[in-house]
């Protein structure tokens, strides 16, 4: 029989679990706010997964904030403290994301929000369907150079 020879520790239901290992730190906590740059293959993989997660979460945060601001405007309301909290959360997420990008050498200068089936004109920035041949705002013909 292979495996550990340690016996499981029994505890009462109201007694907290004891762990010899501390809880895993986030990449930014490991080095006092600076993520570990090199490390091993596993560490870089973990940092890349965190980076992908932060990029997706930041994009959702942008959309959430935009929709929230639109609803506030539409209903004629103001909620400065809630907007500030959302902005602070986005700023903290963006700060960690940029540190990870720098540590991994995957820095992106421009954040591009993507949605399948929707594109933006390279000339004027207007939104259009991916099947459109011309920009609905400025009339630019879309070709192979369009993203």
What's the pLDDT at 144? 52
How far from 146 is each of 1, 18, 49, 113, CA to CA, in Å? 62, 57, 29, 16
The tens digit of pLDDT for each residue in 7-43 reads 555 555 555 454 444 444 444 444 444 555 556 888 9
Q: What is the pLDDT of residue 91?
A: 94
- pLDDT at position 146 is 42
Segment 53-111, tens digit of pLDDT: 998 898 889 888 888 999 998 999 888 888 999 999 999 999 999 999 988 888 876 66
Phi, psi of 134 (to 5 degrees): -135, 150
- How many C-beta atoms surround the C-beta of residue 103 within 10 A? 21
Residue extents of the structural domains in the chain: 38-104, 118-147
Distances (CA, A) of 79 to 60, 76, 93, 100: 20, 10, 22, 32
Euclidean distance between CA atoms 23 and 58, whole angstroms? 25
Q: Which of 111, 137, 118 is closest to 126 using CA atoms?
A: 137
Q: How far is CA 61 from CA 49, 78, 107, 114, in A?
A: 18, 19, 20, 13
Question: How does pLDDT run across 97-143, given as a tens digit for each residue?
Answer: 999 998 888 887 666 666 777 777 888 878 888 888 888 889 889 87
The pair of three-digit structure tokens given for residue 106, joined into one six-digit string: 């995957």
Q: How far apart are CA 9 and CA 108, in angstroms?
A: 49
């Amino acid at each position: 029989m292979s495996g550990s020879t340690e016996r499981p520790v029994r505890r009462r239901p109201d007694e907290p679990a004891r762990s010899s290992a501390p809880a895993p730190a986030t990449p930014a906590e490991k080095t006092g706010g600076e993520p570990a740059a090199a490390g091993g293959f596993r560490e870089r993989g973990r940092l890349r997964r965190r980076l992908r997660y932060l990029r997706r979460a930041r994009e959702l945060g942008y959309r959430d904030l935009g929709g929230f601001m639109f609803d506030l405007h539409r209903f004629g309301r103001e909620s400065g403290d809630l907007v500030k909290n959302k902005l602070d959360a986005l700023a903290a997420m963006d700060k960690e994301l940029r540190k990870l990008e720098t540590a991994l050498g995957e820095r992106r200068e421009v954040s591009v929000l993507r949605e399948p089936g929707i594109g933006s004109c390279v000339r004027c920035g207007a939104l259009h369907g991916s099947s459109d041949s011309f920009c609905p705002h400025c009339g630019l013909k879309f070709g192979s150079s369009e993203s």
